[in-house]
Amino acid sequence: MRFPEPIAISQIAEMIEARVLGNIEGIATGINEIHKVEEGDLVFVDHPKYYDKCIKSRASFIIINKEADVPEGKALLIVEHPFEAYCKIVTHFRPFEFSEKMISGSASIGDGSFIYPSAFIGNHVTIGSNCIIYPHVSILDYCILGNNVIIQPGTVIGGNSFYYNGKKDREVWYKKMPDCGRVIIEDDVEIGANCTIDRGVSHDTVIGRGTKMDNQIHIGHDTIIGKNGLFAAQTAVAGVVNIGNGVTIWGKCAINKTLSIGDNVTVLGMSGVGGNLESGKTYFGAPAEEASTKKRELVWIKRIPAIWEKVMGK
């Protein structure tokens, strides 16, 4: 999330009652989680496993619960509970805002767009020109739709991410991270019925121009989908996945978190993607492999009983 305007790190430190080591004169431009950090961002870390990764990331300011060496130009904001400090900053800049109208007064809707009765358009939503939003669609706060976008009935754009801070030394193990990211849907996208497109935790979930989605598809938080994708029904994509341009995902595929799929990839139906996929290839199976390799493997598996009988002399 970008702050409305850059803010002095000394003001952030005062807000969360932190002690600052390093660049006390720094200016923060946003807040992010580790997978999406950029220069100028705040990030939090509360587990020794990730201390070094966060400190050496692109983040300029690290909310942390221990002292450490500070790289030049960066600052550590030391607090007892970094997660709670992160939540306090997010809720300060992106507080809960209720809406009693089906179309919020702060929403912006372009010329030629039609919103069916019973669709809900949240606060600060932007919808471009010539869009069609069908009944029972929910487009939640701060989401952005381009021009010529079609959203079929029952779909939810901008639902909360499935992202929790886990600690097994407290009574409630999993505490939800408040979301401050958005969903951005570019021009000429069509999304089918009863899909769920989660907002980013602190960055954006993006659906690229010209992408078409079938019914009952789930896209997780902070996932970036390129242009002209084709997604068949009941596919589930986890969070922080980068999918290239021209990718086709056939029905009932499952795609694991924090991986990349190259341009012009095809994933055949009911496949499970657990790692990065190279551009321009067709994949199949669980775990997904190049389709030609997987099909040869299946042929050999079918031959095992006959081979076994021959080896045993039957």
Q: State the amino acid at position 230 in one-letter form.
A: L
What backbone phi and psi angles, to 5 degrees, belong to 35?
-70, -15
CA distance 210 to 137: 20
Print burial letters for 11-32: b (CB count within 10 Å at least 16), e (below 16): ebbeebebebbbbeebbbbbbb
- Strands across the sheet containing 61-64: 2-8, 27-31, 41-44, 61-64, 75-78, 19-22
Examine the residue annotation and report whether 221 is marked as an active-site residue of this protein: yes
Question: What does the block give as tokens for 169?
Answer: 């030394």
Selecting among 92, 136, 218, 221, the annotated active-site residue is 221
Catalytic residues: 221
